[in-house]
């Protein structure tokens, strides 16, 4: 898409971590003539060579907004800063690309929703997997009955995070920081894409598209938040959706969302945009690979042409925020030491929960919580 109008003025907030991806997207859009990266904001200066010479550099987004006119702002900052920074950008007349999770509570979600409406601007949430073309193929396969009637949808992930991950910032692994909700944890942050993708496939995006939400939250690390957890909910249509995650696996594997049908299953590896179609009796799956639409590009094109719909508008993350709220208000229990094997030393030290891969798979397949599928550390956790 090219534009006869002057390039949109883009600002990137948070230039490290996932903010580097926003810088790369802005660079490509600038090369295409759609935007100009006018400014960035981060207390830590951007890495050399990551921003053009014409880009102004600020420590804080409010200072940037006071001095530079912007059309689009990306925000990849600590979770508890999302609401005030997004609200400030919206008030300045900018559309916003806000990283996940949008905010740490339903109360904050209501505030942000009101800020979007008051400003008359757009807020896209950075669930990159929801830009995948695989989602349309999954919908088509379900509609044609390729795997029969859908019984349940499960998200699973077995990841490994070391001590350096939890020590990288003051908010990592926190539920509350200085009296402010953070709601970090495996469900709401590192593997949140799995939850959001499963909900999208289930057709549950809005707040009212989800009924009861059950969570079991555990940690093996010495943190406030959860690192090994299950979530089970039902959509308003009655479809069960389950998420089973850990950051305490022996090794990291690719996460997936699986549609379980009466005649087979669809397995979506959402980080690589690969879909496997397993039908009953098949020895090997059919395999599809696809691309995805960059969410900043989609937001820019929406700003230039209102006829282009947003892929992940804030309202469509209401169901995900129901899960965030359930996590925020639930108790996190420690996994007994007898089920935890600590490996490596120093910043590489990390816990491995006994047979956690087995129990993640069981919860995913059976649409159950860890305690219901028999994980021994789930029933004995303190």
pLDDT of 58-90, one tens digit each?
Answer: 999 999 999 999 999 999 999 999 999 999 999
- Would you place residue 4 in the very low, low, confident or very high pLDDT band (cuts 50, 70, 90)? low
pLDDT at site 5: 74
The DSSP call for residue 313 is B
Question: Dihedral, CA atoms, 322, 323, 325, 328, nearest 10 degrees?
Answer: 180
Are 174 and 184 spatial neighbours (Cβ–Cβ below 8 Å)?
Answer: yes
Q: Strand 264-269 and strand 274-279: pairing? A: antiparallel
Please check the confidence at residue 380 and state whether its pLDDT lies above 80. Answer: no
pLDDT at site 190: 97
Contacts of 291 (CB under 8 A, 6+ apart): 132, 133, 273
Question: Dihedral, CA atoms, 77, 82, 87, 93, nearest 10 degrees?
Answer: 40
- Would you place residue 154 in the very low, low, confident or very high pLDDT band (cuts 50, 70, 90)? very high
CA distance 25 to 45: 19
Among 158, 209, 154, smallest CA distance to 364 is for 154
Q: Average pLDDT, stretch 258-278?
A: 97
pLDDT at site 6: 84
Q: pTM here?
A: 0.96
Alpha helices in the chain (DSSP H): 19-31, 61-67, 82-91, 106-119, 134-143, 163-166, 192-201, 295-304, 318-329, 356-366, 370-373, 376-380
Q: At what angle do helices 192-201 and 134-143 cross, to 10 degrees?
A: 40
pLDDT > 90 fraction of the chain, expressed in percent and rounded? 96
Please give the mean pLDDT across all residues of the chain: 96
Please check the confidence at residue 217 and state whether its pLDDT lies above 70. Answer: yes
Structural domains of the chain sorted by starting position, each given as residue range(s) with its CATH number in brackets: 8-128 (3.40.50.720), 133-291+315-380 (3.30.360.10)
Phi, psi values for residue 28, rounded to 5°: -65, -40
pLDDT > 70 fraction of the chain, expressed in percent and rounded? 98
CA distance 164 to 13: 23
Poorest-confidence range of 119-128, 131-140, 273-282, 294-303? Answer: 273-282
Find the distance separating the first CA and the last CA of the chain, reported in whole Å.
Answer: 55
- Would you place residue 1 in the very low, low, confident or very high pLDDT band (cuts 50, 70, 90)? low
- Would you place residue 3 in the very low, low, confident or very high pLDDT band (cuts 50, 70, 90)? low
- Would you place residue 281 in the very low, low, confident or very high pLDDT band (cuts 50, 70, 90)? confident
Count H helices and E strands in the chain, helices first: 12, 19
Are 145 and 233 spatial neighbours (Cβ–Cβ below 8 Å)?
Answer: no
């Amino acid at each position: 898409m090219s534009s006869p109008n002057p390039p949109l003025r883009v600002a990137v907030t948070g230039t490290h971590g996932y903010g580097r991806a926003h810088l790369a997207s802005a660079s490509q859009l600038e090369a295409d003539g759609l935007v100009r990266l006018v400014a960035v904001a981060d207390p830590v200066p951007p890495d050399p060579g990551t921003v053009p010479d014409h880009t102004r550099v600020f420590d804080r987004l409010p200072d940037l907004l006071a001095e530079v006119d912007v059309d689009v702002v990306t925000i990849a900052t600590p979770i508890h800063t999302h609401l005030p920074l997004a609200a400030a950008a919206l008030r300045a007349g900018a559309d916003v690309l806000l990283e996940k999770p949008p905010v740490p509570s339903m109360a904050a979600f209501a505030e942000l929703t009101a800020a979007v409406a008051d400003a008359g601007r757009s807020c896209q949430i950075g669930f990159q997997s929801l830009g995948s073309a695989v989602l349309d193929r999954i919908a088509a396969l379900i509609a044609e009955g390729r795997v029969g009637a859908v019984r349940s949808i499960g998200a699973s992930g077995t990841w490994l995070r070391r001590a350096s991950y939890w020590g990288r910032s003051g908010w990592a692994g926190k539920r509350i920081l200085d009296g402010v909700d953070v709601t970090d944890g495996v469900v709401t942050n590192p593997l949140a894409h799995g939850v959001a993708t499963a909900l999208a496939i289930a057709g549950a995006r809005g707040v009212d598209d989800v009924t009861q939400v059950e969570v079991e939250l555990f940690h093996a690390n010495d943190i406030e938040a959860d690192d090994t957890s299950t979530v089970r909910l039902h959509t308003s249509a009655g479809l069960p959706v389950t998420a089973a995650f850990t950051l305490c696996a022996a090794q990291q594997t690719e996460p997936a969302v699986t549609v379980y049908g009466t005649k087979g299953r669809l397995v979506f590896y959402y980080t690589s945009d690969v879909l496997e179609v397993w039908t009953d009796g098949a020895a090997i799956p059919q395999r599809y690979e696809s691309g995805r639409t960059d969410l900043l590009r989609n937001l820019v094109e929406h700003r230039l042409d209102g006829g282009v719909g947003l892929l992940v508008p804030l309202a469509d993350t209401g169901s995900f925020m129901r899960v965030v709220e359930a996590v925020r208000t639930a108790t996190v229990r420690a996994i007994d030491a007898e089920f935890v094997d600590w490996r490596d030393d120093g910043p590489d030290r990390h816990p491995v929960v006994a047979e956690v891969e087995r129990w993640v798979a069981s919860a995913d397949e059976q649409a159950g919580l860890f305690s219901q599928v028999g994980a021994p550390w789930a029933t004995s956790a303190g």
